[in-house]
């Protein structure tokens, strides 16, 4: 009887040790999971804080003026001949300057591009403004849809031309250098130019959409 009792006690002790071992292992796993969760939450919070600190405000763009001295169809009505100058004002709302490493301005009519003008690299100073001027002159083929649009808009007295400024830019915020692409789109409502009078510059004040 004493031997049986001793064996039972030993078995109970073994089961107790095994239970305590599993319990300790379970507690260690729970602790490890808690640490992982805390790290994930801390990294998420840090990311949000950095995003709020480093997030730049989008550049504000306005098409301020345009001179359309020629915009007519030639070559049997399938060739658009044009002479257009556009001024686009850029305003930087941020407390750091932005370097435009590359920029070009493209003009399109009825969904088809007809003009292209590269822009010299420039800086947009912090809290500063700058006007980018693009000039388009030449001729471009027009499809049947463009011819119909041209006839309708000429009779209405206004042409609708879309101008886009594409750029690669960079800036530095709190020690972080950032580079990105940007697109600015402006839809211009331009009066049909007179064939006899001196070209007139139209003051626009047209707000442009900015993909910054």
38 and 143 both lie in a single domain: no
- Distance from C-alpha of 77 to C-alpha of 17, rounded to nearest angstrom: 96
pLDDT reported for residue 164:
98
pTM: 0.75
Q: Taking the chain, what is the end-to-end CA distance rounded to the nearest angstrom? A: 87
46 and 131 both lie in a single domain: no
Out of 9, 24, 55, pick the residue that ends a domain: 55
110 and 21 both lie in a single domain: no
44 and 134 both lie in a single domain: no
124 and 65 both lie in a single domain: yes
CATH number at residue 182: 2.60.40
Of 116, 131, 96, the residue nearest 203 (C-alpha): 131
- Distance from C-alpha of 169 to C-alpha of 99, rounded to nearest angstrom: 5
Out of 34, 55, 76, pick the residue that ends a domain: 55
| Tens-digit pLDDT string for the chain (212 aa) | 555 445 555 455 455 555 555 666 677 778 888 888 899 998 888 777 666 666 688 999 999 999 999 999 998 889 999 999 999 999 999 989 999 999 999 999 999 999 999 999 999 999 999 999 999 999 999 999 999 999 999 999 999 999 999 999 999 876 778 899 999 999 999 999 987 778 889 999 999 999 98
Out of 35, 55, 75, pick the residue that ends a domain: 55
65 and 39 both lie in a single domain: no
pLDDT reported for residue 24:
62
67 and 141 both lie in a single domain: yes
Q: Are 167 and 208 in contact (CB under 8 A)?
A: no
100 and 197 both lie in a single domain: yes
Query: How many domains, in total, are found in the chain?
Result: 2
125 and 194 both lie in a single domain: yes
103 and 86 both lie in a single domain: yes
pLDDT reported for residue 33:
85
pLDDT reported for residue 104:
97
pLDDT reported for residue 98:
96
1 and 80 both lie in a single domain: no
Phi, psi of 148 (to 5 degrees): -65, -45
204 and 126 both lie in a single domain: yes
Q: Structural domain of residue 171, as residue ranges? A: 60-211
């Amino acid at each position: 009887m004493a031997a049986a009792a001793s064996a039972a006690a030993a078995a109970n002790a073994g089961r107790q040790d095994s239970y305590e071992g599993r319990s300790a292992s379970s507690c260690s796993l729970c602790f490890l999971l808690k640490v992982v969760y805390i790290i994930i939450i801390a990294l998420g919070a840090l990311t949000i804080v950095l995003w709020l600190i480093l997030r730049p405000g989008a550049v504000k763009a306005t098409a301020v003026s345009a001179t359309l001295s020629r915009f007519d169809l030639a070559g049997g009505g399938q060739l658009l001949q044009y002479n257009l100058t556009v001024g686009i004002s850029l305003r930087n709302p941020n407390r750091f300057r932005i370097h435009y490493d590359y920029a070009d301005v493209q003009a399109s009519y009825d969904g088809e591009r007809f003009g292209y003008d590269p822009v010299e690299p420039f800086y947009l100073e912090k809290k500063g403004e700058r006007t980018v001027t693009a000039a388009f002159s030449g001729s471009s083929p027009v499809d049947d849809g463009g011819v119909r649009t041209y006839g309708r808009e000429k009779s209405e007295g206004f042409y609708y031309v879309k101008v886009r400024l594409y750029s690669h830019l960079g800036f530095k915020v709190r020690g972080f250098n950032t580079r990105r692409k940007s697109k600015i789109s402006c839809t211009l409502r331009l009066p049909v130019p007179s064939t006899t009078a001196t070209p007139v510059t139209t003051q626009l004040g047209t707000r442009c959409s900015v993909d910054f």
